[in-house]
């Protein structure tokens, strides 16, 4: 006999001796059931039912996940603003917006909420007549000419300047246009919140001012004074304030008082023309 086979046989025996064996218990014979006695059913052991596993796709489509819905909306508004600033102002359908924002896995309920409620009521989204959506900027400006025209109108109407962040939001390629208009606009930093405001640089209002007058103007401290106190100070110094040169308020309409001397309406007395004809009858007659 081959010695290699003998070695394998011995090794197999050793492995068989070392492996533990489990004896199966013999099944007890079933007891005879008496048909006369009511059968007692054993209560079934309640097995812990493991509910359906939470899938991430199903989680996104849950109607109660308001945080997820508003996250989808915020991503859409941010994307529409960015593409408007890049010059892409053509409107898109909801499917195209979700495709560009990589959100095609949203559920039908979220899509319906976006289509019928969220995008329509959002102040930064404009709905076109054909049902498509585009970004709604604060100012309708497309180039440097329209920006300069807007700043001129603000200056002529006395409305002041425009916040730089509003221009950056509304005007595509804003930095390039502001750089080309640097000789025609002014930047003023507001001391309250350090935000920059853009003004129109009206060169016709530039005229030489005497240095002595400038020193006097800068020496007057009016930080702690309001307009009423300044008017009172100017009146004491014999200087008339410019309040009469501003826009005049319409005079209140005087209503006519009702005339108190109205003739009192006299009620007609009954049967005055029959006063001499009427007779009274007592009960005794």
Look-up: residue for tokens 């054909």? 130
The residue ranking higher by pLDDT, 113 or 253, is: 113
CA gap 117, 94 in Å, rounded: 13
Q: What is the mean pLDDT of the chain?
A: 77
Confidence of residue 50 (pLDDT cuts 50, 70, 90): very low
Query: CB-based contacts of 92: which residues, under 8 Å, 6+ apart?
Result: 100, 132, 133, 134
Signed CA dihedral, 89, 94, 97, 99: sign only: negative
Tens of pLDDT along 154-191? 888 888 889 999 999 999 998 899 988 888 888 999 88
Tens of pLDDT along 212-239? 888 888 887 777 777 788 888 888 888 8
What residues are paired with 199 via a beta bridge?
A: 186
Signed CA dihedral, 172, 177, 182, 183: sign only: negative
C-alpha closest to that of 82 among 174, 205, 169, 190? 169
CA gap 124, 114 in Å, rounded: 14
Asked whether the predicted pLDDT for residue 132 surpasses 50, the reply is yes
pTM flag (> 0.85)? no
Asked whether the predicted pLDDT for residue 56 surpasses 90, the reply is no
CA gap 92, 43 in Å, rounded: 62
Confidence of residue 79 (pLDDT cuts 50, 70, 90): very high
Signed CA dihedral, 62, 63, 66, 72: sign only: positive
The pLDDT value given to residue 272: 67
Asked whether the predicted pLDDT for residue 42 surpasses 60, the reply is no
Q: What is the CATH number of domain 57-135?
A: 1.10.10.10
Q: What are the structure tokens assigned to 62, written together?
A: 């849950």
Confidence of residue 206 (pLDDT cuts 50, 70, 90): confident
* Beta strands per DSSP E along 100-244: 125-127, 133-135, 162-163, 185-189, 196-200
| DSSP 8-state class, residue 274 | G
The pLDDT value given to residue 21: 61
Domain ranges of the chain: 57-135, 144-205
Burial readout 187-209 (b: 16 or more C-beta within 10 A, e: otherwise): eeeeeeeeeebbebbeeeeeeee
When mean pLDDT is compared across 14-23, 52-61, 275-284, the lowest value belongs to 52-61
Q: Confirm if 112 and 161 have CB atoms less than 8 A apart.
A: no
SS3 (DSSP) at 200:
strand
SS3 (DSSP) at 187:
strand
């Amino acid at each position: 006999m081959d010695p290699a086979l003998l070695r394998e046989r011995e090794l197999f025996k050793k492995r068989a001796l070392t492996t533990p064996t489990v004896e199966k218990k013999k099944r007890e014979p079933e007891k005879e059931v008496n048909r006369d006695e009511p059968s007692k059913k054993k209560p079934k052991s309640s097995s812990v039912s493991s509910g359906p596993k939470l899938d991430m796709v199903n989680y996104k489509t849950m109607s109660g996940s308001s945080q997820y819905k508003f996250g989808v909306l915020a991503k859409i508004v941010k994307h529409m603003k960015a593409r408007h600033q890049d010059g892409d102002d053509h409107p898109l359908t909801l499917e195209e917006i979700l495709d560009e924002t990589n959100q095609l896995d949203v559920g039908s309920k979220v899509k319906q909420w976006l289509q019928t409620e969220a995008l329509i009521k959002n102040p930064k989204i404009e709905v076109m007549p054909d049902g498509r959506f585009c970004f709604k900027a604060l100012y309708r400006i497309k180039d440097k000419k329209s920006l300069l025209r807007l700043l001129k109108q603000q200056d002529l109407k006395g409305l002041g300047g425009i916040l730089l962040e509003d221009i950056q939001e509304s005007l595509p390629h804003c930095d390039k246009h502001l750089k080309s208009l640097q000789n025609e606009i002014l930047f003023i930093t507001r001391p309250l919140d350090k935000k920059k405001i853009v003004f129109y640089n009206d060169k016709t209002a530039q005229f030489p001012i005497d240095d002595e007058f400038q020193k006097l103007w800068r020496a007057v401290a009016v930080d702690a004074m309001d307009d009423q106190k300044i008017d009172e100070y100017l009146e004491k110094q014999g200087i008339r304030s410019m309040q009469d040169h501003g826009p005049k308020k319409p005079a209140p309409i005087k209503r006519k008082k009702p005339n108190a001397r109205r003739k009192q309406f006299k009620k007609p007395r009954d049967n005055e023309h029959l006063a001499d004809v009427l007779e009274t009858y007592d009960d005794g007659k």
